[in-house]
């Protein structure tokens, strides 16, 4: 059975003390109302170690939002997968559309990052998704297929067990415009088919595929009720504990 997951992506928000407080607030709510899914907090690098120490690891897992495409050495300002792992974080988000668009992260760079993350025993939340023009041209399926193939299909089936996919249509991220549950289901089922063709039905069935893009408490239940939508990657609505819990609660 694949995992149901609700993962927050704080992006570049929150000072250290604000982030720790937010993590403690989420932890407090989940201590009182146990989640029916895996809950992950994706935080900036500087928060990782403190957030790991501030939450109950049985209730909340912690993720970085990125890691370097190099192992170690003279790469000023970069943070390696080994460093992320050393904080106690268990996941890393890779391939987010903001990294692709603003920091030039190509499929080839992402492939390196994925390999280093897995080599350091991190699980990867790998983001894929089309921009508006591609959706309007009906090219969303070929776009996500290429993103998966180029960055992930060199992995063995055993390695692939450490990959969570997050389908995030770029036109829905931070825009308030959510994909309909039918649109999400259609492309999630397509992605699962792509995985089945490469790795077989079992691996495809075991892979968690999250939806991301203006997901909030009011639409999470309907999205998560789709058979191939296994939870969400949440940006804006992960920045306030009650809003984030409203999405986690969609699985209750």
Active site residue ranges: 96, 168
Half-sphere exposure of 42 (CA within 13 A, CB side): 27
- For ligand PEP, which residue has the nearest CB? 235
Q: How far is the CB of 200 from ligand PEP (least distance, A)?
A: 29
- Binders of ligand PEP: how many residues, by CB under 6 A? 13
Q: Which residues pair with 93 in a beta bridge?
A: 125
Question: 176: how many CB neighbours lie within 10 A of its CB?
Answer: 9
Q: Which of 214, 235, 238, 252 is nearest to 23 (CA)?
A: 238
Query: Of these, 65, 168, 228, 230, which contacts ligand PEP (CB under 6 A)?
Result: 168
Q: Is 95 in the site for ligand PEP (CB under 6 A)?
A: no
Tell me how far the alpha carbon of residue 242 is from its chain's centroid. Answer: 20
Q: How far is the CB of 76 from ligand PEP (least distance, A)?
A: 26
Q: How far is the CB of 21 from ligand PEP (least distance, A)?
A: 20
Residue 55 in contact with residue 47, Cβ under 8 Å? no
Q: Is 215 in the site for ligand PEP (CB under 6 A)?
A: yes
Range 221-240, binding ligand PEP (CB under 6 A): 233-237
Residue 72 in contact with residue 82, Cβ under 8 Å? yes
Residues lying near ligand PEP in the complex (CB under 6 A): 9, 168, 173-174, 212-215, 233-237
């Amino acid at each position: 059975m694949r995992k149901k997951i609700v993962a927050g992506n704080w992006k570049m928000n929150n000072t250290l003390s604000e982030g720790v407080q937010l993590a403690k607030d989420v932890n407090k709510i989940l201590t009182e109302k146990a989640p029916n899914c895996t809950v992950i907090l994706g935080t900036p690098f500087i928060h990782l170690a403190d957030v790991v120490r501030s939450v109950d690891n049985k209730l909340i897992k912690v993720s970085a939002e990125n890691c370097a495409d190099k192992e170690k050495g003279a790469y000023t300002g970069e943070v390696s997968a080994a460093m992320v792992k050393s904080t106690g974080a268990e996941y890393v988000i890779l391939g987010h559309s903001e990294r692709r668009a603003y920091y030039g992260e190509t499929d080839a760079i992402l492939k390196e990052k994925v390999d280093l993350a897995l080599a350091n025993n991190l699980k990867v939340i790998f983001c894929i998704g089309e921009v508006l023009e591609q959706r309007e041209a009906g090219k969303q399926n070929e776009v996500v297929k290429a993103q998966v193939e180029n960055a992930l299909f060199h992995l063995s089936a055993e390695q692939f067990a450490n990959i969570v996919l997050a389908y995030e249509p770029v036109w829905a991220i931070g825009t308030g415009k959510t994909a309909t549950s039918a649109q999400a289901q259609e492309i999630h089922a397509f992605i699962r088919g792509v995985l089945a063709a490469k790795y077989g039905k079992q691996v495809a069935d075991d892979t968690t595929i999250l939806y991301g893009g203006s997901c909030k408490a009011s639409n999470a239940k309907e999205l998560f009720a789709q058979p191939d939508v296994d939870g969400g990657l949440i940006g804006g609505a992960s920045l306030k504990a009650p809003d984030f819990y409203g999405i986690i609660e969609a699985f209750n």
